[in-house]
Amino acid sequence: MHSLNHIIKFADDTTVVGLISKNDESAYREEVQQLTDWCRTNNLSLNVDKTKEMVVDFSRTRRDHSPLHINGSTVEIVKSTKFLGVHLAEDLTWSLNTSTITKKAQQRLYFLRRLRKAHLPHPILTTFYRGTIESILSSCITAWFGNCTASDHKSQQRVVRTAEKIIGVPPSWTSAKQTASWMTIHTPHTHSSPSSRLEKVMTSLVLMWRQIKLRPIKVQYKKKHQSETVSTEDGAPV
């Protein structure tokens, strides 16, 4: 494997992160080709239809990137991708991820209201909130909470306050927020490339999923081998 490339695996998902320097994509494309050849040699089938490529480009003069080709099929270039339940955008911001989980949490508030109308006691309502709403808002929170905008924080807090009014007592999710804030404050900030930052985020997500022992349902490792490729480019603003 080339030193500018990194391969991140989780179950049957494989992600290739490549740093493109001076518009030279040869190492990145060679890495993808080697992965394709390895899968073919080991009787694994790459699902090209589910394979996506996301380009993170912070250079001043952006250029068109030629798409990858795997087994004669063109890999779709997307502006965002979902990695272990977390939405990653090409500009490395968290607004898309925050809006997605906030919308999903808001939909669960309907069921909380129904339980409230059924006159269930506060402890049961709080348990339901923590299991179906707070779990969504705090999913992988240590990876994205510290870099969210003030607007993103407000939208999340709005859901929490609505739940507090429905339940009648504050259920609070401060423990998860404090954990995320502590990691943000105590993590040293270094001026790294987009490739390095993206790799660290993906690696941390893999570690978190392994720690809580969550695994995808219906893993068919020997029949289908899914892959997401991410290419990055130098030029991140300091």
pLDDT by residue for the chain (238 residues), tens digit each? 677 788 888 888 888 888 887 778 888 888 888 888 998 899 888 888 888 888 888 777 777 788 888 888 888 888 898 888 899 888 888 999 999 999 999 999 999 999 999 999 988 999 999 899 989 998 888 888 888 888 998 998 899 889 989 988 765 554 455 444 433 333 344 444 555 555 566 565 555 555 444 333 333 344 444 444 444 444 444 3
Of 125, 128, 180, the residue nearest 152 (C-alpha): 180
CA distances from 41 to 86, 128, 227 (A): 32, 49, 16
CA distances from 174 to 69, 91, 188, 203 (A): 46, 28, 23, 25
Structure tokens given for 49: 């239809």
This prediction has a pTM of 0.67
Task: Compute the distance between CA of residue 17 and CA of residue 200 in angstroms, rounded to an integer.
Answer: 11
Q: At what angle do helices 122-129 and 150-167 cross, to 10 degrees?
A: 150
